[in-house]
């Protein structure tokens, strides 16, 4: 299963690197532009469950890494095969300055809130996303808070600890 998938992927796409670190995991690294095509291909192969879109800030390499984690639903009602145990992590790295990426809502409709969240917490702009409005945050932050150079402890000291206590003023 895994090896045939690997061969298929390698035969179809050129600029990708494939690693199989353990029995049930395939890690595919691709260029930015290739990602939608690979996602579409994998979806047609039966990996139809986009479990998660995540981002990792590799500050030392000066890049942000997007991870698409794909697993598969069952084909029938109750047949469990090796396919369901498998998960694919599709990675692509984008620069930290003015990061942008093409939205994948057209392929996986459930990508919408994940992309919104990543836009908010990592500052990656998803082109073509219909609704990049704030999802979780209320305050505005200079640096998106999940980037590694955003120091939450420093931020707390600078913002919340500076607000004076009313009870002390009273006395």
Partner 1 sequence: MDRNQITKWLKAPAKMANKYSLHAVYFCTGCGIIEVPPVITSRWDAERFGVVPVATPRQANLFLITGYVSVKTLRAIIRTYEQMPEPKYTVGFGSCPVNGGMYWDSYNTIKHLDKYIPIDGWIAGCMPRPEAIFIAVTHLWTLIDKDMANAYIRYRKNYKSYRRNQELALGKLEWPPLFPVGDESQGNEQ
Partner 2 sequence: MRELELYFGPQHLGMVGNFSITLKVEGDRVLEARANPGYLHRGFEKLMEYRTWMQNFPMVCRINVVEPDSMEMIYAMAVEKLANIQVPERANYVRSIYLELARVGSHLFGLWAYANMLGFDTVAQWAMYHRDLVLDLFEELTGGRVYHIYIWPGGVRRDFPPGFEDKVVNTLHSIGGCVPDYDATFFNNRLFYERANGIGKISREQAKQWGATGQTLRATGMKFDIRKVEPYAAYDKVDWDVPVRENGDAYSRVWVIRDEMIESVHMIFKLLDAMPEGPVYNRVPNPFKWKIPKGEAYVRCESSRGELGLYMVSSGGDKPYRVHFRTPSYPNGLILLEKLLKNASIADVGNIMISLYVVAPEIDR
CA distance 97 to 61: 12
> How big is the chain, counted in residues?
171
The site partner of 69 among partner 2, partner 1, none (C-beta below 5 to 8 Å per kind) is partner 2
Closer by beta carbon to partner 2, 14 or else 154:
154
What residues between 113 and 132 interact with partner 2 by CB under 8 A? Answer: 113-114
Closer by beta carbon to partner 2, 14 or else 131:
131
CA distance 126 to 94: 12
Judged by CB under 8 A, does residue 134 bind partner 2? yes
What residues between 47 and 76 interact with partner 2 by CB under 8 A? Answer: 48-52, 54, 56-57, 67, 69, 71, 73-74
CA distance 30 to 93: 8
Contacts with partner 1, residue ranges (CB under 8 A) = 136-141, 145, 150, 152-153, 155-156, 159-167, 169-170
With beta carbons less than 8 A apart as the criterion, state whether 28 and 18 touch: yes
Q: Which position has the token pair 């045939």?
A: 4
Quote the least distance from Cβ 168 to partner 1, whole Å. Answer: 10
Closer by beta carbon to partner 2, 2 or else 135:
135
What residues between 11 and 50 interact with partner 2 by CB under 8 A? Answer: 21, 24-25, 48-50
Q: Which position has the token pair 């050129």?
A: 14
Q: Which residues contact 25 (CB under 8 A, 6 or more apart)?
A: 86, 87, 88, 89
**Residue 34, number of CB atoms within 10 A of its CB:** 17
CA distance 168 to 92: 52
Which stretches of the chain bind partner 2, using CB under 8 A? 21, 24-25, 48-52, 54, 56-57, 67, 69, 71, 73-74, 77-78, 80, 84-85, 87, 89, 108-110, 112-114, 134-138, 145-146, 150, 152-153
């Amino acid at each position: 299963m895994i090896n045939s998938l690997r061969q298929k992927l390698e035969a179809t796409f050129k600029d990708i690197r494939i690693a199989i670190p353990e029995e049930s995991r395939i890690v595919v690294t691709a260029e930015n532009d290739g990602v939608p095509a690979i996602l579409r291909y994998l979806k047609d192969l039966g990996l139809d469950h986009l479990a998660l879109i995540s981002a990792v800030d590799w500050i030392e390499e000066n890049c942000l890494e997007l991870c698409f984690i794909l697993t598969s639903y069952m084909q029938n009602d109750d047949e469990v095969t090796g396919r369901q145990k498998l998960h694919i992590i599709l990675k692509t790295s984008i620069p930290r300055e003015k990061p942008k990426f093409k939205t994948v809502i057209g392929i996986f409709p459930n990508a919408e809130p994940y992309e919104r969240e990543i836009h908010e917490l990592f500052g990656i702009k998803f082109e073509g996303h219909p609704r990049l409005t704030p999802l979780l945050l209320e305050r505005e932050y200079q640096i998106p808070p999940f980037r590694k150079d955003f120091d939450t402890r420093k931020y707390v000291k600078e913002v919340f600890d500076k607000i004076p206590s009313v009870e002390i003023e009273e006395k």
